[in-house]
Structure 1
């Protein structure tokens, strides 16, 4: 497609113009992040609800807390270059048990409830792969108000699917580290499974040396109104092409509400010979926009449907607003003193993708970013990041709320040099 990318006169659409005329872009917007964590902290108040089952059958509610014989530790790792913090779930060896992490609204702590189209991105590694372990990462139907999982067995009982009425998820099972399944269920019916061998170039083996480990691959689950797509992406290779598997038969109910969850399960049957450690390195949930839903493109991938161009965070110019570089302070802090940066406003629309802050000082201290929906009540957006003497802290987080600010806390020695700056970024 040739021509410039701009607004179509007299319409709400954007498009390209070439000798044949206007080619409309069906939607001009960016996806909105609903949840994001790289596990600088494990917050069960604003990030995760922790539940468990000690009998996988049935349709009753899940119980609060971690399943007996399982344990969650962390964050761990992250000290070595290119390693990432993570939480570790010790899955134990007790059968017919499961621990479930359900995402919360990171502003209010209420259950995070989503509806298609929505996308989940996750990076998970395992210490070993055993046929007696199941790890599920995906969407599970819930009550649209309370967020309680809806479970049923009208047509079939599927304990390893949590008996969810409707669901779709990646499933890490079997003894082969280079394989994953895509699974889903619709209307309390039987199971649909996409074979593990479909996902080539994929592994759940972590890279690095414990405890400083990272995930070499990313799993992406796109839950659309007429299809679900499972993708695996090698994040460390510029040559490996992502594997994409699409299913559109008997999809989970697109009008239902869903919770985003991670399930760590030892099904009924032979007990695991030893405990598997499952590590979660990253979890991201965002509203996924189907840019062109006309019938001619119903079977196209979101990035390949003509005449749609990918409008959003990478490459496309979305308006004329330029990032503003802010100097929060260049005044040295006394011993134990705190700098509270000015409130920075991202605006009411999704103009920027990230808030970034950079702090340097000649004495040790800590740096964090805080976020707010109203510039009055502030909550942590990051953990306290260590600032070494004569060091630099450079932090960047996705923009999921309107207001942000940087906080610098000096240690026990007065500074003679300090500079804190911040900015909103597109990419």
Structure 2
């Protein structure tokens, strides 16, 4: 089975405008997110679109959402979709009529002027033939993800490692904050750059990117609305903590808000991330993101301390071999050992094993892990031809093991 995860990843350190200070680690953060998807969730390369620095213009980001997500025939309704952005955030004065009539009187900031939250694309606040580039507004991104949800379902995670609040501390600290002020963007630039489907929908200024009851997607934001998002040369605080958190959690059986809580526990107290969306209490990526790993073999309980495994001497198992026992057999979900079994009686295609004396009772439905690529490759070379070569790259008929790349 091929991964049912698709992603658009954006990371911007270097900006086109000379009025915007460059960042240190957004590109590296984007690459780390891609590495997590590729090597932990086993997402194929062609399921991921990554835009870095000058490739991440307003036009290319919007077109990539349209082409790679909305109009992608490979994505089926219910597939998991991850949209990640690391770069500067900003705010700008809202045009008259930007919000619905019920909300036009709401204001934000000392000036009493309604503000719009923005994702700063590579060409943010620069001149273009169509006018000054105003980035991608909160209203546009909600409409874009609404288009994705209408075509592919609402199993969408939006991750924003940026800030929508200025840092009032020292100049030195502002250099490490993923926020920039809007120097020349005017309200009419926001109107002209608004995504077309957003023009047909009312918008609530009290939510910005962070609508608590969004029905189209779930949001992970690196900081609360009025707090700063910080980085160092080693990475953004949020992305660094997120990568650590997803490596520690059994992701296939925890909810979005549990992932966010774990991430927050690994961050300094002066930056508080948050989770928003109607599905924030539901399973992370609806559990569709996790593929089975062929290094794990089901333990069939017989009686007492005795178990049967569907592997034997053809996979280089010998009497006395010790195998660790795990709760599940999925890629990308934390799976520490819960015990050990020792192989007793070995046959070519199966064996019997007993629970190690130091192991407490093993729960039913566990898996034994076949350690080492050498053993796994021997298993593939021995059995794949017999079984009709049932494991293939990218879900196509072939002769390469998806788990260890052994060719037979």
Q: Same fold (TM over 0.5)?
A: no
Which protein has the bigger helix share?
2
Which of 1 and 2 has greater Rg? 2
Structure in which a larger fraction of residues adopt strand: 1
TM-score by length of 1: 0.28
